[in-house]
Amino acid sequence: MKQLHRQLFSDLYEWAGEIRTVDISKGGTRFCTCARIEAEALKIFTKLQEVDWLRKQDKDSFCGLLAEYYCELNMIHPFREGNGRVQRIFFEHLALSAGYELDWENISQEEWIQANIDGVDVNYGPMKKIFNRIVTS
């Protein structure tokens, strides 16, 4: 993800591709403390590796796991800016490698924001509902 962030934002930010060194929040949500970003991200990427990067999952299982990992990675928020764009591209590649595609067009901004807020409270249902709708094989 660091390399992807660097490629996307190196023309805008000198720090593109670097893990943030300050704690951040948005609205009432405090994201992962900067001291824990790498350790928490390692947990997620280790879990993804253990489930073979979500390959060989039926659609319902794929969407459930995708929702969980998306929400968890969103809470880490490793960069000062550009997390959403990097995450979407990363998850598009993850889906493609598992034999699926993501069609982001039919999601309202309000629905997406609310699903991410629900994910803060470990309620992945709304995010899974979105992924069930936008994941195609």
CA distance 81 to 95: 23
Phi, psi (rounded to 5 degrees) for 25? -145, 165
Please give the tally of structural domains in the chain.
1
pLDDT in tens, 76-85: 999 999 999 9
pLDDT in tens, 91-132: 999 999 999 999 999 899 999 999 999 999 999 999 999 999
pTM: 0.94
Q: The domain that contains 76 carries what CATH number?
A: 1.10.3290.10
Phi, psi (rounded to 5 degrees) for 82? 85, 10
Q: Which residue from 77, 70, 82 is spatially nearest to 112, judged by alpha carbons?
A: 70
Task: For the chain, give percent helix, strand, coil, nearest 5.
Answer: 65, 5, 30
**Residue 113 lies in domain:** 2-136
